[in-house]
Amino acid sequence: MKTKLQILGTGCPKCQLLTEHAERAAQELGLDYELEKVTEIAKILAFGVVATPALVVDGEIRVFGHVPSTPKLKELLAPQGVQRT
At a CB cut-off of 8 Å and minimum separation 6, what does 69 contact? 21
H/E segment holding residue 74: helix 70-77
Q: How many residues does the chain have?
A: 85
68 catalytic residue (yes or no): no
Q: Which of 15, 38, 54, 57 is catalytic?
A: 15
Q: Which of 4, 11, 12, 43 is catalytic?
A: 12
24 catalytic residue (yes or no): no
The catalytic residue positions are 12, 15
